[in-house]
Structure 1
Amino acid sequence: MDKTLENVLFAIDEINNQDPNLELVDGKNVPKEWVYGLRMTEMLELYNEQASIELQIAARGQHIRRWHIPRSDYPMDRKGYLKWRTMLKMYHGQLLSELMEKEGFEKTSIDKVVELVNKNKLKTDAESKELEDVVCLVFLKYYFHDFGTKHEEDKIIDIVQKTWGKMTDKGHQMALKLDYLPEDLALIQKALA
């Protein structure tokens, strides 16, 4: 692995290891955003083992220090949610820029990572589409079941349909091969029918 890439990924992990929000993984409580970053990298490697350095950084840093801007700081409606998401994307881009600058990355590489985490070219840029597929696959593999237990079926079906709509054919193929609990698979099939 490129040393500068290794250093940036290590710095992202160090930051995300400070997340006070914990998730139970294999019987052990671990920082939520730290494990999310690892899952993003793992899924990206399955999706595209030749991913660019920029895509690898964007995947690992997708939620860098996310807890620093809590959802509760914004109105609990759609408008508040969208404003929160916009602020997060800008914040993640800024933090990743600073880490990359410290490692001497070129401005074009830094700008590409910011573009990826900000989802500026989601409909036109191949790497942006790849990152979105990875985000959706990580959600489906690791977070869909818990999400499903907290929401009404209509909302879950709507989320699955929106998630599916963001994905490429390759993402769809990978999503259909994930190992789901029977009740989760039934909901996904219902949403896609």
Structure 2
Amino acid sequence: MTGDRAAVLVAIDAANAADPTLEGGRPAALLYGERMTEELHRLFPEAGDVLRIAARGQHIERWTLPRNAFPEGKPGYLTWRREQGRRHGARLAALMADAGYDEAAQERVGILLRKEGIKRDSEVQALEDVICFVFLRWYFADFAEGRTAEDLQRIVEKTAAKMSPEGRARAVAEFDLPEPFRGAFLD
């Protein structure tokens, strides 16, 4: 299972540096990967290589498969997300193979990115908690603009439902969540 994690992270960053979408003058996918790594280090400092690689590469080259390539509505969105997870897993597995990781590690990164076993697999759940923290910390405010209070409540409830009980408790402690959003994390 041992490979060169640093080489994989450099390759992920190089791929994501090509993102044409900029955020604060930097490629958005590169910035997202850095934010995922920061949150993972903070929330799960003992995370192993595969989880660290999955977090950094969770959105690797996401822009190459745009959402508008799929039908509108929930079924189209879910199909797009499944395909993104599959593609990201395959892309990271190839980078891991190049860096000396064995097939088990390559398969495992795909499981994490496809979120297979969420709520049952501690690493899949850890990745999901990190994703939710990154969303709340960096993207929720912009995401909320132009949405109704009812839509936001539904989105917050779905976000909280994806998280572990420990993740929800930590979110309540770390974020100044207004009511009724706070209640979604207290179940």
Shared fold per TM-score greater than 0.5: yes
- Aligned counterparts of 1:10 and 1:174: Cα–Cα separation in 2: 30
Which range is displaced more, 149-158 or 59-68?
Answer: 149-158
The 5 Å alignment of 1:22-61 reads 22-24=22-24, 29-61=25-57
For residues 160-184 of structure 1, give each alpha carbon's deviation from its aligned partner in whole angstroms, at most 9, with x where no partner exists. Answer: 001101111221122123344xxx6
Q: 2:178 aligns with which of 178, 181, 185?
A: 185
Q: For 2:178 and 2:16, locate their aligned partners in 1 and report how far apart those are by CA, in whole Å.
A: 31
**1:145-156 equivalences in 2 (<5 Å):** 145-156=141-152
CA distance in 2, matches of 1:162, 1:35: 24
CA distance in 1, matches of 2:83, 2:137: 26
Name the counterpart of 2:164: 168
Task: Kindly state the Cα deviation for residue 186 of structure 1 after the two structures are TM-superposed.
Answer: 4.1
2:3 and 2:101 in contact (8 A); partners too: no
**Aligned residue identity for 1:53:** D
1 CA distance for matches of 2:148 and 2:184?
13
Query: With CA pairs under 8 Å and 6+ residues apart, which has the higher RCO, 1 or 2?
Result: 2
Secondary structure at 2:4 match in 1: helix
How far apart, CA to CA, are the structure 2 residues paired with 1:74 and 1:11? Answer: 28
CA distance in 2, matches of 1:187, 1:11: 42
Cα distance change on mapping 1:133 and 1:85 into 2, 3 Å: same
Matched to 1:166, the amino acid is: K
Matches of 2:75 and 2:89 in 1, distance apart? 21
Aligned residue number for residue 132 of structure 2 = 136
Aligned counterpart for 1:120 among listed residues 99, 102, 116: 116
Structure 2 match to 1:64: 60
Answer yes or no: is the 8 Å Cα contact 2:132–2:159 preserved in 1: yes
The percent of aligned pairs where both chains have the same amino acid is 38
Structure 1 residue 192, shift from structure 2 partner? 5.2
Q: Which runs of 5+ in 1 are unaligned?
A: none
Question: Measured at CA, do residues 132 and 22 of structure 1 come closer, stay the same or move farther in structure 2, by a change above 3 Å?
Answer: same
Q: Secondary structure at the match of 2:182?
A: helix
Give unpaired runs (5+ residues) of structure 2: none
**RMSD after superposition:** 1.6
Match for residue 10 of structure 1?
A: 10
Which one of 96, 100, 103 corresponds to residue 107 of structure 1?
Answer: 103
TM-score, length of structure 2 as denominator length: 0.93
Q: TM-score, normalised by structure 1?
A: 0.90
Alignment deviations for residues 60-90 of structure 1 (CA, whole Å, 9 cap, x no partner): 0100000000001111111110111011011
TM-superposition CA deviations, 1:99-120 (whole Å, max 9, x none) = 0010110111111111000111
Give distance in 1, aligned partners of 2:178 and 2:138. Answer: 14
Please give the alpha-carbon distance, in whole angstroms, between the structure 2 residues aligned to 1:191 and 1:157. Answer: 8
Matched, 1:83 2:85: no
Aligned residue-pair number: 185
